[in-house]
Amino acid sequence: MKLNFTKNDIFLFITISLIAFGLGIYLPFTIPIRLVDPKPKLPPEEENRISHPRGFSIIAPKGWESFVDANDSNGLSLIVIQPDTNARWAPKLYAQLYTENDNPYYIDSNLYNQAKFLEYDAEVYEGRCGDYHQWQAVFSYEGDRYSVGIILPHGEDETRYNKVPDYWWPFINSFSIESKASNPLE
């Protein structure tokens, strides 16, 4: 079976292909960003506590995924917790132990204020961070520096955060550090 295409058929095929290709590249940028801010189920459940081998932990909202980076070669000691979604923008709860070589240089900024976080004297930032609202506390305990924080996406639908919603605080405040005496990795 031989197909006979005219010049008009070929022109129409190429035109439709180019339009489809152009829409495939351009259209995703015109669709409003899906803001993912699922309210975590309260109260935090101890069974959802995510522990880092270096002796710190935080409770994740039920059904959220966590990532623990304990790779000494890249200098990270980090827990990141986020909803199980493939959304472009999603909230993230995190806790980090700074390594000896990882100095939180940005703490010198006048954007950080001295405040209490749990029982620790901390440098605290709350405000805009790109397309996110961020709250972060950086503090020392037994000679180590830690950071605990949350980032919440701003949506193109004009959803904006001026402060961390109250339902997040039980999770942020669930951060805990083991004493060095009880942690064999120290």
Summarize pLDDT for 40-67 with one digit per residue, the tens: 888 899 999 999 999 999 999 988 999 9
Question: Taking the C-alpha atoms of 30, 13, 11 and 23 in order, what is their torsion angle to the nearest 10 degrees?
Answer: 0
pLDDT one-digit tens code per residue, 133-186: 889 999 989 888 899 999 988 765 556 677 888 899 999 999 999 876 555 554
What pLDDT shows up at residue 24?
A: 63
What pLDDT shows up at residue 105?
A: 57
What pLDDT shows up at residue 51?
A: 94
What pLDDT shows up at residue 107?
A: 63
Give the Cβ contact number of residue 58 at 10 Å. Answer: 23
Most confident of 14-18, 96-100, 126-130, 147-151: 147-151
Provide the whole-model pTM. 0.72
Q: What percent of the chain has pLDDT over 70?
A: 68
List Cβ neighbours of 139 (8 Å cut-off, separation of 6 or more).
Answer: 117, 120, 121, 122, 123, 145, 146
What pLDDT shows up at residue 25?
A: 61
- For domain 46-180, the CATH architecture is Sandwich (2.60)
Q: Is 29 in a helix, a strand, or coil?
A: helix
List Cβ neighbours of 128 (8 Å cut-off, separation of 6 or more).
Answer: 134, 154
pLDDT one-digit tens code per residue, 123-144: 999 888 777 888 999 998 988 8
Q: How far apart are CA 94 and CA 181, in angstroms?
A: 24
| Residue 183 φ/ψ, nearest 5 degrees | -110, 105
Q: Are 54 and 185 in contact (CB under 8 A)?
A: yes
What pLDDT shows up at residue 77?
A: 86
pLDDT tier, 113 (very low <50, low <70, confident <90, very high otherwise): confident
Q: How far apart are CA 99 and CA 74, in angstroms?
A: 10
| Residue 114 φ/ψ, nearest 5 degrees | -75, 135
Can you name the residues that pair with 66 across neighbouring β-strands? 81
Copy the structure tokens of residue 66: 């966590």
Q: Is 24 in a helix, a strand, or coil?
A: helix
* pLDDT: which is higher, 11 or 77: 77
| Residue 115 φ/ψ, nearest 5 degrees | -160, 175
Provide the residue ranges of all domains of the chain, joining segments of one domain with +. Answer: 46-180
